[in-house]
Chain A
Amino acid sequence: MPHAQACMACAGHLRAAMRLGKLLAQRPEVPAEVRDPGLLEAIHVRATQSMLREPGGMLLQGTYGRPPVLPAIPWPLQQDASGLARQGATSGGSAPGWLWTRIRDDLRQQVAKPVLRRRAVLAAVAASLVLALALSKFVGSDGSPADVQIVFIPVDEMPLVDHPAAILRRGGRQ
């Protein structure tokens, strides 16, 4: 007697497999939206545009022999990117492991840069305000810069001046 007929569990597995097999043999209908060639083209365009801005995309451009379009990135990253591009263009082979590490770090910086830039701008504005307030004490009405340091020293005792109010204050104590 075959085992599938003697073993009830295996008989059940065999019956499920035969049922699912028939279902899997039937190829499903592709949705109409996916059949639209414009959708695929839009995906390709979006992917290409994002890769152009990413260090990995620049690397691929270099790999395919075209000079990369480098953004205004500060030294020494800019040199590395140029070196990467040159290296990718000349070697034509797979990128070394340290390159992927550098790309990962660059991507992380790209994500954090807007926040850092905003904080830096706010800090610069605050510092400028503080400096302006400090200088305003010495800047004349015509806005000329303070080339003479003048300080005001408050005094509690009334100076000896010839003013009616001062004279009357001293009146009975001459």
Chain B
Amino acid sequence: MLAPAAVLVGSLASQQAAASAAALRSQSPYAIRTAADLTFRNIAGARFHETWQAVQVRRFLDADGVLVQIRERVTVQGNGTDSSPFQLEFLDVIGSTVTAAQRQSWQYTYRSHAGLLHQHGSFAVQDVDAAHRNYLLYDFGTVRRAGREARRAIVFPRSGDKAIWVVDLDVDTGLTLYAAEYDSRLRVTGELEVNSLAVGAQVPPLGAGWNWTPRQVVDVYPSPQLAIQAMRSAFVLVPDLGQVVAEYVLHRAQITTNRLNAEQTLVFGYTDGIDEFFVTQSGAQPDPFANSPGRLPDPARSKPHAIASYDDPAMRVYVFHEKGTTFQVVGSQGLVRLQQVAWRLCRQAVTGN
């Protein structure tokens, strides 16, 4: 007697799951059922529309060019905005033995920087209109990913100094199930692969305090001028980048304040819709070039202004110090124009023009 009842219960459960999936498919406004649904607006909106949880693997190359694979879990409680509560947790390192100390270190990294990794650590449409102007979206049909039906697309930049992305987008929700970043030489520089996805009611209950909160105080401002006014540092400026990176828009102006010493850092985030670079300004730091030969007093000639330059396959960084403030320009490796951005910023800091 129990067997038929069990079969009945199982049948009912499967029917309910199918009904939920069908309901979900019909409800999500960002579903990508056809090539016509493949738009930057759908891709951008899917991330914050509903509650979802995924176990994913992040792959990248370390400083020595060795592949590193990190398994992580991301949970998002979508509220329709890019400030939707989320959590990004470190789970494990794949393919290598991790000591207890290393595991602690990784956990600390994710607790401290989950926001940066989640919001800027892989493929994301940061600005829909800019993405339309600067990228092309090509449909490559349907694939299977994480046991779900997905639509494969290639995001191709109009400018040659940007990354090319291959993405698999969940048909039902529009969420990104796979993202691979290629440089201009078609070398893979990073991957993010979802292994399992739970959406809506499938997500386990979220307890109190589940979401990530930044360790520093983060204040976002609607304009760079307001952010400048809020800085207590003696010398900060609104970057005048001219036409060097004309296709980039300023999409974020924020001040992060260290809770321990109240040290402020002004951050301007620029995006072309997909790619990003950041200009940070922080005071109360020593000049790293104070004792370099070029800065020694020489009455015979004026001292040159030095910009430290670093680049590897993943990023390029420019750092300089002027009038008590340390400036950083950080972005993707392919964007060689960042050198000119750094030069203009340094000249602006020195001359005020």
Contacts and interface: CB of A to CB of B under 8 A. Distances in A.
Interface of A: 138, 140-142, 147-159, 161-174
Interface stretch (B77-85, B134-142, B339-347): B339-347
Given A164-B117, A164-B121, A151 B305 contact: yes
Interface of B is mostly: mixed
Contact of A162 (B62, B116, B307, B308): B116
Contact of A148 (B121, B305, B340): B305
Contacts of B278: 162-163
Contact of B304 (A150, A156, A169): A150
B221 interface: no
24 contacts: A148-B305, A149-B302, A149-B304, A150-B306, A150-B347, A151-B294, A152-B307, A156-B310, A157-B310, A162-B330, A163-B116, A163-B315, A163-B330, A164-B113, A166-B330, A167-B113, A167-B117, A171-B68, A172-B93, A172-B109, A173-B102, A173-B105, A174-B105, A174-B108
A140 B315 CA distance: 23
Contacts of A151: 294, 304-307
A34 B343 CA distance: 78
A89 B244 CA distance: 69
B125 to A, nearest CB: 16
A153 B243 contact: no
A170 B116 CA distance: 14
Interface in B300-353: 302, 304-310, 312, 314-315, 317-319, 328, 330, 339-340, 343-344, 346-347, 350-351
Interface residues of B, number: 51
Nearest to B304: A149
Given A161-B328, A164-B120, A168-B68, A153 B105 contact: no
A150 B319 contact: no
Interface in B241-260: 242-244
A150 B294 CA distance: 11
A141 B342 CA distance: 12
Interface in B154-171: none
Contact of B105 (A140, A159, A171): A171
A165 B93 CA distance: 16
A140 B347 contact: yes
Contacts of B244: 141
B280 interface: yes
Interface in B270-312: 278, 280, 289, 292, 294, 302, 304-310, 312
A153 B293 CA distance: 12
B262 interface: no
Given A164-B116, A167-B116, A174-B108, A148 B347 contact: yes
A119 to B, nearest CB: 34
Given A150-B347, A164-B121, A172-B102, A159 B328 contact: yes
A1 B346 CA distance: 121
B22 interface: no
Interface in B56-95: 58, 60, 62-63, 68, 70, 93
A140 B117 contact: no
B2 to A, nearest CB: 52
A5 to B, nearest CB: 106
Nearest to A151: B304
A126 B268 CA distance: 43
Of A151, A159, A168, most buried by chain B (CB within 10 Å of CB) is: A168
A159 B319 contact: yes
Given A140-B242, A150-B347, A172-B105, A165 B315 contact: yes
A171 B70 contact: yes
Contact of A149 (B62, B305, B310): B305
B280 A140 contact: no
B235 interface: no
